[in-house]
């Protein structure tokens, strides 16, 4: 959500930010609505002053027996009451129109975000690890012998339709171990607080983080008006909604392992094989709530936390900064971390870490008060995957595959696997 006062103050800068996203200027339309709204409010206040003045004179006219003046003033009071109600209703309508418009406008990018149209214009900032050289042709995760019994797409389709999977045996255990490893690392080593939140939320909660109203088709709504969360960013960030906290309370750093649900609207025919793009998946999410001056450093810290998970697992990755045309609507700057998948012979996204400034905080009314100050300020919010569990499993399986179809699992996972180290070609953990 954007601050109308900042747009009034510097409409050129606002439009310049929109231009970075390839959008046309919007300040003229916004300011026209705003001026009309403020004019209605001013007129209502003037009418109220007239009514109050006339109300005081009514009694005096009655006392001196001036019936004509009494009737005129009484009618004026009644007319002003009607006028005030009409003006207030018009101002309310214009206010809603303004808020709806502002709610649908994406965040303004940081100045250092590269300009571009799509993922082809993203800029790589670093790489870690060297992709393994195989003495056989590496396969994709769903073609491995180790996954043939433990990754069942046909049964999932019978139960739920396409883009679901039933996991069992060693595959299911490895998936669970990954989630536990991720959440334990973030909470014991990275200073995040573990939180378990609902997966069903109200519309207002989805609005707070920017999923509504513009991206409703990307999520699932229940018949009674709840929404299934597309990520626990929604719930973790909204912990701060409608709160004013002391400066000393910040930063807050949260982590949650949760189910996530996405309709994948607009992705028909894309990544349909295997479990790369699912309607239901699990993710370990990180969320930070900070003071404005701390958010940029926190963004770098959060990204390092996500990268550290891949390094502990020995999975090669690269980190890219997204260009303005590929960045999510709520972000001011985003790093995507892409893990190496030898079965596809390419890097694929496994985490996005974004700083949102006060964009979400304004939608949620999340504020803090500095020591010695009376007026509260909006916090800054950040979110990042730490990591997507299913995609982590894909990377582990493909990078650890052996010629016989078995999979060697990363040493970092062994404590969460009861000391087991491999998934055999028969799908059994050994």
CATH of the domain at 70: 1.10.287.40
Work out whether strand 422-423 and strand 407-408 pair parallel, antiparallel, or are unpaired. Answer: antiparallel
Among 100, 97, 94, 85, which residue's Cα sits nearest to residue 38? Answer: 94
Q: Is residue 407 part of a domain?
A: yes
> Pairing between strand 227-228 and 200-201?
antiparallel
pLDDT (tens digit per residue) in 45-65: 999 999 999 888 887 888 788
Tell whether 99 and 123 lie within a shared domain. no
pLDDT of residue 250: 98
For CA atoms 275, 276, 281, 286, give the dihedral sign.
positive
pLDDT at 265 over 90: no
Give the active site residue among 51, 253, 262, 363. 262
Is 263 among the catalytic positions?
no
Do 94 and 191 have their domain in common?
Answer: no
**pLDDT range class, residue 273, cuts 50, 70, 90:** confident
Whether 262 and 307 map to the same domain: the answer is: yes
Answer yes or no: is 112 within a domain: no
Task: Report residue 89's pLDDT band, with 50, 70 and 90 as the boundaries.
Answer: very high
Last residue in a domain, options 42, 73, 103:
103
Q: What is the CATH number of the domain that holds 394?
A: 3.30.930.10
Residue among 132, 277, 291, 318 flagged as catalytic: 277
Q: 88 and 152: one domain?
A: no
Q: How many other CB atoms are found less than 10 A from the CB of residue 88?
A: 17
Let me know whether 397 and 281 are in one domain. yes
- One domain, residues 94 and 240: no
- Give yes or no: 277 in active site: yes
Q: How far is CA 151 from CA 157, 163, 260, 275, in A?
A: 12, 12, 19, 9
Query: Is residue 110 in a domain?
Result: no
Quote the mean pLDDT of the chain.
Answer: 95
Q: Model confidence at 390, in pLDDT bands (50, 70, 90)?
A: very high
Domain contains 111: no
Q: What is the pLDDT of residue 264?
A: 82
Same domain, 97 and 180: no
In this predicted structure, the answer to whether residue 268 has a pLDDT above a threshold of 80 is: no
Does the structure show a pLDDT above 80 at 270? no
The total domain count for the chain is 2
Say which of 21, 37, 173, 391 is annotated catalytic: 391
- Residue 269 has a pLDDT of 65
Is 189 within the bounds of a domain?
A: yes
Q: Is 108 within a domain?
A: no
Let me know whether 280 and 396 are in one domain: yes
Domain boundary among 50, 78, 103: 103
**Which residue did the predictor score with more confidence, 63 or 154?**
154
Please, which residues have CB within 8 angstroms of residue 79's CB and are 6 or more apart in sequence? none
Domain boundary pick from 58, 76, 103: 103
Q: Are residues 183 and 260 in the same domain?
A: yes
Report the pLDDT value the prediction gives residue 266, as an integer from 0 to 100.
62
DSSP structure string for 266-300 = T-TTSS-STTSS-SEEEEEEEEEEE-GGGHHHHHH
Q: Residue 56: its pLDDT value, please?
A: 85
* Per-residue pLDDT at 65: 83
Q: For residue 58, what pLDDT is reported? A: 85
Same-domain check for residues 229 and 352: yes
Please determine, for residue 383, whether its predicted confidence score (pLDDT) is greater than 90.
Answer: yes
**Above 70 in pLDDT, residue 251?**
yes
Same domain, 199 and 224: yes
262 is catalytic: yes
Do 176 and 67 fall into the same domain?
no
**Residue 281: which residues within 8 A CB-CB, separation 6 or more?**
259, 260, 262, 275, 388, 389, 390
State which residues form the domain around 98.
4-103
Asked, for residue 232, whether it belongs to a domain, the answer is yes
Does position 272 have pLDDT exceeding 80, yes or no? no
What is the arithmetic mean of pLDDT over 407-414? 98
Lowest mean pLDDT among 272-276, 311-315, 325-329: 272-276
Q: Is the pLDDT of residue 271 over 80?
A: no
Q: Tell me, yes or no, whether 429 lies in a domain.
A: no
The residue from 69, 90, 349, 377 that is catalytic is: 349
């Amino acid at each position: 959500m954007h601050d109308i006062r900042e747009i009034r103050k510097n409409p050129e800068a606002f439009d310049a930010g929109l231009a970075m996203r390839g959008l046309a200027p919007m300040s003229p339309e916004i300011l026209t609505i705003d001026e009309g709204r403020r004019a209605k409010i001013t007129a209502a206040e003037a009418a109220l002053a007239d009514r109050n003045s006339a109300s005081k004179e009514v009694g005096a006219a009655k006392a001196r027996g001036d019936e004509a003046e009494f009737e005129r003033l009484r009618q004026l009071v009644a007319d002003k009451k009607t006028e005030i109600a009409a003006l207030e209703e018009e101002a309310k309508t214009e206010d809603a129109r303004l808020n709806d418009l502002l709610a649908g406008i994406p965040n303004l990018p940081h100045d250092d975000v590269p300009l571009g149209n799509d993922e082809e214009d993203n800029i790589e900032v670093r790489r870690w690890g060297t992709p393994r050289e195989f003495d056989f042709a590496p396969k994709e995760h769903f073609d491995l012998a180790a996954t043939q019994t433990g990754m069942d797409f046909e049964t999932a389709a019978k139960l739920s339709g396409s883009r679901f999977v039933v996991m069992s045996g060693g595959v299911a255990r490895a998936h669970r171990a990954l989630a536990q490893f991720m959440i334990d690392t973030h909470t014991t080593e990275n200073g995040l607080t573990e939180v378990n939140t609902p997966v069903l939320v109200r519309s207002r909660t989805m609005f707070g983080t920017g999923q509504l109203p513009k991206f409703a088709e990307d999520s699932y709504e229940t018949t009674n008006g709840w929404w299934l969360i597309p990520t626990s960013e929604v719930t973790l960030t909204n912990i701060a909604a409608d709160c004013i906290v002391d400066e000393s309370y910040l930063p807050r750093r949260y982590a949650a392992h949760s189910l996530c649900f996405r309709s994948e609207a607009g992705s028909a025919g894309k990544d349909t094989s295997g479990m790369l793009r699912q309607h239901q998946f699990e993710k370990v999410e990180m969320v930070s709530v900070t003071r404005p001056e701390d958010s940029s450093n926190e963004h770098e810290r959060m990204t390092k936390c996500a990268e550290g998970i891949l390094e502990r697992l020995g999975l090669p990755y690269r980190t890219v900064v997204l260009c303005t045309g590929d960045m999510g609507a709520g972000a001011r700057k985003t790093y995507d971390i892409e893990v190496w998948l030898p079965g596809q012979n390419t890097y694929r996204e496994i985490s996005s870490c974004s700083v949102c400034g006060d964009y979400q905080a304004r939608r949620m009314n999340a504020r803090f008060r500095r020591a010695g100050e009376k007026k509260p300020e909006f916090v800054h919010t950040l979110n990042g995957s730490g990591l997507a569990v299913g995609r982590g499993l894909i990377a582990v399986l493909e990078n650890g595959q052996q010629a016989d179809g078995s999979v060697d699992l990363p040493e970092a996972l062994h404590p969460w696997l009861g000391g087991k180290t491999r998934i055999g070609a028969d799908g059994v953990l050994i």
